[in-house]
Amino acid sequence: MSKQILVSGFGGQGILSLGRILAKSAIVEDKNVTWFPSYGAEVRGGTSHCFVKISKEPIASPFVEYPDIGIILNQPSLDRYRKQFKKGCFLILNSDFISNDSVNKGVKKISLPLNRMALECGSLKVTNIIALGVLISFSPEIIKEDSAIQVLNEIYRNKEILKQNLDALGKAKSLGIKN
Amino acid sequence: MKVKFSRPKSLNDIETHYCAGCGHGILNILVAKVVDELGIREKTIGVAPVGCAVLAYKYWNFDVSEAAHGRALAVATGIKRCHPDKVVFTYQGDGDLASIGMAETVHAANRGENITCVFVNNACYGMTGGQMAPTTIVGQKTITTPLGREPESGEGWPIRMAELLSGLKGVCFSVRAAVFNPQKVMQTYQYIKKAFINQIEGRGFSLVEVLSPCPAAWRKTPLESMKWIKEEMVKSFPLGVIKSG
Amino acid sequence: MQKINKRKLMSGNEAIAEAGIIAGCKFYAGYPITPQNELIAYMAQNMKKRGGIFIQAESEIAAVNMVLGAAAAGVRAMTSSSSPGISLKQEGISYLAGCELPALIVNVMRAGPGLGDISSSQSDYFQATRGGGHGDYFTPVLAPWSVEEAVNLVMLGFDIADYYRNPVMILADAIIGQMMEPVGSFNKRQFRKKIEPKDWALTGAKGRPPNSIKSLFLQEGVLEQHNKKLKKKWDKIRKNEQRFFIFDTEDADYLVVAYGSQARISLEAVNILRKQGIKAGLFRPISLWPFPIKGLKKIAENVKKVLVVEQSLGQMVEDVRLCLPEKQIYFLGRAGGGVPSSGEIVKYINRKLL
């Protein structure tokens, strides 16, 4: 099993950190992983993306041409990568920032108001973790919820922030959003 | 019989390559005498510049490193940070310190590196045959200012390094000396000694700028050269303590 | 409770810095430039805490000359930068080589010429493998293709530098610097040769004659003697320090030659080609100088055609052509931050080589 994931959105939406949490969760599960970011001039408000590859086998290239999974948090990102999402790909889309969510035939997608869901958990900053929860609900074979929880516990020492993140992670499940 | 003068232990007994009447001979000795007097020969590390003093490692009887043109204070920074218990100094000319190495000079001084800097100002590039230096005085004829330095025609004014660096917090001591007579030579010696003591006491960056003759490039006799420093050069570069504390 | 996994997620830049510290680097001076900023940041956070020295220098030139000072002082020292900054460091690298001082220089390459772009590139191959600065010299160049290997090569690089008393360059591209991967172990690796104590270093002439560090030799014939002595060193390095990696080359008809990140992409292409029934293999130089001539000649003996893949418009390909004059050599490269995809490589081989 090898999964190729693209995460993309505005800088400041936690794109790179979502990728890193995925990568760290993969390490918890003893899998191989590569994480490759866009870097440099993109700051808050610009577009930002990262590729994450997770596999039990050694990973050759860290680049992702045709993702298996896309976590897309804004319209410019969907417009930029639309053609690369082929049949069989699964997309998690942020309907709060995406109005035109048309995609290629055969692409599976779920559109959710991720911003609003994050605000319900107490902060817009956990939008990315809401998306992670959705991913885990749909594709637990990529990473397990327990692994993500372990990673979040390692990253966030502040109890309040940790709670927001854990709430965000469980949000999809609590709403019964699953495959 | 009592020996009153002798070669400093920190100076090797070999012939130097300096021209007759050159100030480097005097200054090489002054540095060696200070090192002897402070009893630090075995823990002194010098950094020689690119310029006429490039061969100083041959003359001094202690550890010396070469540095690329202008980079002496960067090299010295590396050495001193690795060996804070050693006494590290640079010995640089005006092209080295004030032109190509201006950035290294200003920033080493601004970081307050605990280093002693002996700056030999002879108002020209001696080694390459006497071109204009940043310290060439207004009207001074050099190979590259055949009509005399003309600030208004884009050749700039002489840079006063001792004043310039004195404005930086990291600098504890900034003076200008000269070697045109025995009295001034002795005063220069005292300044260099103070600059070394500052380092031993951990006070930060010390600069001793010394107006020094270059008879060959100035197209003057050694005596005329000393006179020219005394009568002309000091007008652009006033002598004395600019900062101490 | 799951077991704690020891592997740590790190970027190439961070791992290079950590490997340097573990290797005993006690002095780092650098200057900010993308895409290597994580490296200088890691050094800033860690060097002082762990008994080392960190200086943010006023320029790349100052940084490399500070490293020269530290190396002259007998301390393991390194600096890092990216392409435009490495151009500035060439002065210092030439002096390091001339003075026979060991130091590690890390180049996380970005696209040029000029200010170019911050995106990844492999266009400093010529500069790195041909000395780079003025004068008759070489620097051993090691090119990692993963974060884990970057760790190994930094440690090896310091050992090679100390053993031969010569600067060594780690030539990583921005993809390697920016990419994060799990790193298993930072244990210090053992170099196969004994490294002598640095009795030439400037430590104060206590109980010994003074030491001097210099690259200036003015008397007639003396510099030539020095050059010849250095040449002996280059010959020894050429003989002893060629390194490479091979994959699926045993029965290969088509050999892809690539280094650094491009070897990762080429490996993916080789895997795809094998699934298509095409006998492709990968040859990856790890040491770019000395170029692994012996290895490549042997591995390429029975292949029909060779494709060189680079993130440049063709630099290493010239060494491959020199090494394999009898073979048909093809080249696929992208420049200006463009990255050849594995799909492109597969397509190219199918169309042009078969």
Same-domain pairing of C170 and C288:
no
Question: Are the beta carbons of C5 and A36 separated by less than 8 Å?
Answer: no
ipTM of predicted complex = 0.95
Q: What would the two tokens of residue A163 be? A: 């709670």
Asked if C128 contacts C168 with a C-beta cutoff of 8 angstroms, the reply is: no
Q: Give the neighbours of chain A: at least 3 Cβ pairs within 8 Å.
A: C
Comparing C-alpha atoms, which of B80, B16, B15, B19 is closest to residue B46? B80
Check C268 against A61: CB less than 8 A apart: yes
CA C310, CA C329: separation in Å to the nearest integer? 13
Query: B52 touching C, CB under 8 A?
Result: no
B100 touches chain C (CB under 8 A): no
Residue B37: both structure tokens together: 């007097």
Per the CB < 8 A criterion, the answer to whether C150 and C172 are in contact is yes
Task: Say if CB C245 and CB C295 are below 8 A apart.
Answer: no
Same domain, C234 and C254: no
C308 φψ region: left (φ > 0), alpha (ψ -120 to 50), beta (else): beta
The count of domains in chain C is: 2
CATH classification at residue C59? 3.40.50.970
Instruction: With beta carbons under 8 A apart, name residues in chain C contacting B80.
Output: 69
| Residue of C58, C94, C222 to mutate when probing chain B, most B C-beta within 10 A | C58
Hey, are the CB atoms on A60 and C181 less than 8 Å from each other? no
Residue type, A121: C
**Do residue C115 and residue C164 come from a single domain?**
yes
d(CA B67, CA B73): 9
Q: Which of C9, C175, C271 sits opposite A36 (nearest CB)?
A: C175
- Cβ proximity of C262 and C310 under 8 Å: yes
Residue C234 shares a structural domain with residue C297: no
Residues B83 and C71: their CA atoms lie apart, in Å, by: 11
Distance CA C177, CA A36 (A): 10
Q: Please give the mean pLDDT across all residues of chain A.
A: 93
Given C2, C8, C179, which is nearest A150 (Cβ)?
Answer: C2
Q: Are residues C147 and C254 in the same domain?
A: no
Q: Which amino acid is at C36?
A: Q
* CB–CB contacts below 8 A, B to C: 132
C202/B65 Cβ within 8 A:
yes
Does residue C235 share a domain with residue C301? no
C147 in a domain, yes or no? yes
Whether C215 maps to a domain, the answer reads no
Cβ atoms C90, C137 nearer than 8 A = no
Residue ranges of chain B whose pLDDT lies below 50: none
Nearest to C204 among B61, B67, B86 (CB): B86
Closest CA to B130 of B145, B142, B147: B142
| Domain identity same for C136 and C65 | yes
To 10 degrees, the CA torsion angle through A71, A77, A80, A86?
A: 20
- The structural domains of chain A, ordered by start, are 2-174 (3.40.920.10)
Domain shared by C138 and C96, yes or no: yes
User: Could you report the average pLDDT of every consecutive run of 10 residues in chain C (354 residues)?
Assistant: 70 98 97 96 98 98 98 98 98 98 98 94 98 96 97 96 98 97 85 91 97 94 96 97 98 98 98 98 98 98 98 98 98 94 97 95
Chain C: list its partners (3+ Cβ pairs within 8 Å): A, B
Cα separation values, C204 from A96, B73, C320, Å: 68, 18, 48
Rounded Cα–Cα distance for residues B217 and B127 (Å): 9
Q: How confident is the model at residue A39 (pLDDT cuts 50, 70, 90)?
A: confident
Query: Is residue C150 located within the same domain as residue C260?
Result: no
Residues C175 and C263 in one domain: no
B143 touches chain C (CB under 8 A): no
pLDDT of res. B213 = 98
Instruction: Please name which of C78, C75, C71 lies closest in space to residue C43, comparing C-alpha atoms.
Output: C78
**Subunit contact B104:C65, Cβ cutoff 8 A:** yes
Burial of C24 (0-12, 13-18, 19+ CB in 10 A): middle
**How far is C-alpha C127 from the chain's CA centre?**
12
Residue pair A35/C178 in contact (Cβ under 8 Å)? The answer is no
Q: Shortest CB distance from C58 goes to which of B55, B58, B107?
A: B107
To which CATH superfamily is domain B23-124+156-211 assigned?
Answer: Thiamin diphosphate (ThDP)-binding fold, Pyr/PP domains (3.40.50.970)
| pLDDT tens digit sequence for A108-130 | 999 999 999 999 999 999 999 99
Q: How far apart are CA C276 and CA C161, in angstroms?
A: 44
Domain assignment present for residue C204? The answer is no
**Helix H segments across chain B?**
23-38, 56-59, 72-82, 94, 102-110, 161-166, 182-200, 215-218, 222-228, 234-236
Which residue is closest to C177 within chain A, CA to CA? A36
Nearest CB neighbour to C204, from listed B45, B65, B66 = B45
C203 interaction partners in chain B (CB closer than 8 Å)? 45, 63, 83, 86
Residue C216 in any domain: the answer is no
| Residue C251 shares a structural domain with residue C174 | no
Note whether C182 and C279 are same-domain residues. Answer: no
How large is the C-alpha radius of gyration of chain C? 21
- Residue whose entry in the numeric block shows the structure tokens 């590290």: B88
User: How does pLDDT run across A9-32, given as a tens digit for each residue?
Assistant: 998 899 999 999 999 999 999 999
Last-in-domain residue among C221, C240, C259: C240
Q: Where are the domains of chain B?
A: 23-124+156-211
Domain that holds residue C68: 8-187+230-240
- Residue C208: inside a domain, yes or no? no
The helix or strand, by DSSP H or E, that contains position B66, with its residue range, turns out to be: strand B63-66
Closest CA to C180 of C332, C12, C348: C12
